[in-house]
Amino acid sequence: MRKQEIKQQIEIIVPLWEEILKKSIVNDEQLCKILKGKVNAQDIKKVIEKYPMNINPYYLSLIKKQDDAIWKQCIPDIREVEDDFGFDDPLHEEEDSPVYGLTHRYPDRVLLLVSNKCAMYCRFCTRKRKVGVCYKSMSKEDIQKGIEYIKQHKEVRDVILSGGDPLLLKDDELEFILKSIREIKHIEIIRIGTRVPCTLPQRITPELCAMLKKYHPLYINTHFNHPDEIRAESKRACTLLADAGIPLGNQSVLLRGINDNPAVMKKLMQKLLTIRVKPYYVYQADLTKGTNHFRTKVSEGIDIIRSLRGYTSGMCVPHFVIDAPGGGGKIPITPNYVVNKEGNSIKLKNYEDKEFEYIEPG
Ligand code: SF4
C-alpha cells in the first residue's frame, strides 16, 4: 500500500470526535494566537500551570463575543489563582473513598470515576484538583479495583460513572466497564454523568449508542449551563441517545455572569426539553478553590426557582440543591409556599402570592 493510501485509511478509521479533540487548545501560545490581543499570555500561563486548560475547537466556536457565557466557562481567568478562598476537595470525596476513584457516601449507590479527561476543562469545575492532571489518571487496575469493591458490597444497587468524562473513553474501554458492572447481580441501574452532549456532541455516534443500549437500565445526566450551548449538534447527539432508550437529565451549576438570571435559566430549561433532556438539578456552586468568582448568593437561586414554578411547565423546574460542604449530600432548597399551619388548616400561597387554605384529614 502506498503512503498516501495508508494515510487515507487512517483518516477513515480515526473518528471525527477524536480528530476534533486532537486540535484542542491546551497552551497559552495557541490561545493567544486565536484570541489575538484579548487575553494576557502571562496570566493564562500562570493559571494553567495549576489548573490545565483544554478547549476543543467545537466548544471554542460557540463563543460569540469576549466574556460571553461560553468564554467564561472555558477561558482561564487570573482570579483562579489569585483568590485563595475555598477547598481543593470541598465535598470530601477523597475521605469517602475506600478505593482510589470510588466514592461510597450513600447507602445504596457509589460514584466511580473512570476518566480524568474531559472534552473541555470547565473553569468552575468542582474536581479542578483532578481533571487533566496526568499523574493521577485512572488506570485499568484502579477501575478493576472499583468494580471488585462494588461486587463485594451487596447493598449497592446504583452505580454512577463520572470523571472527568466517561464518554471520553473509547467505546471498547467503556463497554468493558459497563459489561463488568452489568454482570454484578445486585446492580439495578447504571448512570453516566457526561458533558459531551454539550461540549463535544460529535462523540455521540450511532456505534456508541448501539453499545450503550445493551446495558439498560442506563441513564445519562448531562450538563448544559446556558441556552447558547444548545445547538443543532447537541440536538442530534441527544436525539441519538434518547432514541437508544436512554432517559436524559440535565445538571446545571448556577454561575455568576453566566446563568444567574431568571430569563436565561427559563430559556435554558425550555430549550432542554425541546432536545428531550429533562432538567434535573441546578447546583449552588461548591466552595471549590479557584472558582470563588463564579459563586452566587443562595437567594438568587431561590428567586430563579420562584420565577420558573407556575410560570412555565413543571417539567422545566429542576431541583435547586446545595451539595453540603464537607460531604453531607445534596440539600434541596425551595421557595417557601407554606404561610402557616393551625390545627389541620394549612395556609398556602401560590406562585402569584395568592393565598389558599388546605384542610388536612383530622
Ligand atoms: S466536564 Fe465536568 S468534570 Fe469535566 S471539567 Fe467540566 S465540570 Fe469538571
Beta carbon of 122 within 6 Å of any ligand 1 atom: yes
Instruction: Label residue 163 by pLDDT band (50, 70, 90).
Output: confident
- Give the number of C-alpha atoms closer than 13 A to the C-alpha of residue 316, restricted to the C-beta side: 22
Beta carbon of 165 within 6 Å of any ligand 1 atom: yes
Report residue 299: phi and psi, to 5°.
-60, -30
Separation of CA 206 and ligand 1 centre (Å): 24
* Ligand 1 pocket test, candidate residues 127, 225, 281, most atoms within 8 A of CB: 127
- pLDDT on residue 137: 62
Look-up of cell digits 443543532: 232
Beta carbon of 167 within 6 Å of any ligand 1 atom: no
| Ligand 1 atom at shortest distance from the alpha carbon of 128 | 8
Percent with pLDDT over 70 in the chain: 95
Give the containing element (helix H, strand E) for 104: strand 102-106
Beta carbon of 131 within 6 Å of any ligand 1 atom: yes
pLDDT at 214 over 60: yes
- pLDDT on residue 241: 98
Beta carbon of 121 within 6 Å of any ligand 1 atom: yes
Separation of CA 272 and ligand 1 centre (Å): 19
The closest alpha carbon to 278, from 240, 314, 319, 316, belongs to 316
The domain defined by 102-332 folds into TIM Barrel (3.20.20)
Look-up of cell digits 463520572: 162
Compute the distance between CA of residue 209 and CA of residue 325 in angstroms, rounded to an integer: 36
Compute the distance between CA of residue 222 and CA of residue 203 in angstroms, rounded to an integer: 13
- The residues spanned by each domain of the chain are 3-81, 102-332
The identity of residue 45, as a single letter, is K
Residue 133 · residue 178 · CB < 8 Å? no
* Ligand 1 pocket test, candidate residues 116, 195, 220, 258, most atoms within 8 A of CB: 195
Instruction: Label residue 21 by pLDDT band (50, 70, 90).
Output: very high
Beta carbon of 161 within 6 Å of any ligand 1 atom: no
Compute the distance between CA of residue 293 and CA of residue 75 in angstroms, rounded to an integer: 14
pLDDT digit string, tens, across residues 25-70: 999 999 999 998 999 999 999 999 999 999 999 999 999 999 999 9
Compute the distance between CA of residue 186 and CA of residue 131 in angstroms, rounded to an integer: 30
Instruction: Label residue 301 by pLDDT band (50, 70, 90).
Output: very high
Compute the distance between CA of residue 323 and CA of residue 333 in angstroms, rounded to an integer: 11
| Ligand 1 atom at shortest distance from the alpha carbon of 126 | 8
Beta carbon of 127 within 6 Å of any ligand 1 atom: yes
Separation of CA 118 and ligand 1 centre (Å): 6
Give catalytic residue positions: 105-106, 109, 118, 122, 125, 127, 286, 323, 330
pLDDT digit string, tens, across residues 135-154: 456 788 999 999 999 999 99
Separation of CA 116 and ligand 1 centre (Å): 9
For residue 324 the three cell numbers come to: 453540603
Beta carbon of 286 within 6 Å of any ligand 1 atom: no
Model-level pTM greater than 0.85?
yes
* Ligand 1 pocket test, candidate residues 54, 58, 130, 131, most atoms within 8 A of CB: 131
Beta carbon of 129 within 6 Å of any ligand 1 atom: no
* Pairing status of strand 218-222 against strand 248-253: parallel
Widest pairwise Cα distance in the chain: 88
Helix (H, G, I), strand (E, B) or coil at 15: coil
- Give the number of C-alpha atoms closer than 13 A to the C-alpha of residue 81, restricted to the C-beta side: 14
Write the residue with the smallest CA distance to atom 8 of ligand 1.
Answer: 125
